[in-house]
Structure 1
Amino acid sequence: MFAKWLLDIGEGNVGGNNDGEATIEIPEDLLIKDSSDPISDLIEFVYPSVLDNFNDLNFFHEREILAPKNNVFQEINERMFSIFPGDEREYLSSDCICPTEMVNENLDESLCSPDILNGIKASCFPNHRLVLKVGVPVMLLRNVDQKSGLCNGTRLKVVSLGNRIIQVKIISGSHIGDRHYIPIITLVPTDKKLHIKLQR
């Protein structure tokens, strides 16, 4: 029902004729009402009894929470992590200006400090700080190895956490059950709103 409703919105079949803006009524059965903590209620609705189903790959294969903005995703992610047992492992990026930008005479040197670079958040780009636990489900944000099923949107379960590499098991798509190692990867955002070319 929810997927069909989203498709109808995308196709312009909901909200009547519009010039790019429309008022859309959300169906009653899709709303979380009268809640003092809607994020916890959403997590419980999507992942009921998550700790009882922790080791069932099908449980995570059939469920996911998508968020429209990074700050909403971050809050949901932190809540989910607090539910899962085990120790957290923190990974921090090493950020710098792309070498091609260093020859730019108009480059403001104050933009090159680690604090500024680490604080940059861009769409479809990982934050400076990544926290993981063994057993948690994660989603790839980039194509890593399409032949092996490691594509943007592929869902994975964290198997082990190393210093420079993580081991994952695929839990969606045509390669379910396959295990892979994901190393450190250098990324450059394509967000046109950024005035500098960041390398993370």
Structure 2
Amino acid sequence: MKKKIVLGILFILPVVVYLFFASGVNNFGRLPILTENVMDVSQMDPARQLKGKITVLGFFGTDIGAMQGNAFNLNQKIYKRFGEFNDFQMVMVVPKGKQEQVEELKAELGKLSNVDKWYFAYGSEAEIKSLFSSLDSNIELDNQLSTPYVFIIDKDLKLRGRTDDEDEGTKYGFDTSSVAELNNKMVDDVKIILAEYRLALKKNNADRIK
């Protein structure tokens, strides 16, 4: 009798596990698209581009020193975890003329990790506002053209986020002043979009072989 129970468990358990993960793939396999046709930063700064990369997009504004804590949180919780992926980048938008402050921030971040994929895009006030407006989110820039929130932009210039967040309903961005939010929400969402593109790449490669 005991042998039958053990054999039954050994047979049923893998089926249950498979169904659980299959359900997870269906429910969580894609990160929802919240906004189509986000403006590319290349329109204001030709040295930078969003298209073709999975981007964490932020707005650091005129007082970059005031955003240093946010940058450290983002660096420790997101960049150090995902920065090695070829298709991943960080792009922070700042006003023109702030290059010296940017270099100071990068030097501080460089003490904790490499900063190879920490990029900064420069624009006028009107260009920065236009880019931010293209996100079509429920978040606002402050009077210094900054926000603690960062956004996930996919390779096709679409804003990705959550449509059923337990706290906000529709979640457009992630608060970099909250380590808990980065740990408990943003890490998961970046994982999902990276997995989504890896699965798509594997499928395309398999289709070519057929």
Q: What TM-score does the superposition give when structure 1 sets the normalisation length?
A: 0.24
Higher relative contact order (CA 8 A, sep 6+): 2
Q: What TM-score does the superposition give when structure 2 sets the normalisation length?
A: 0.23
User: Which has more helix, going by share of residues?
Assistant: 2
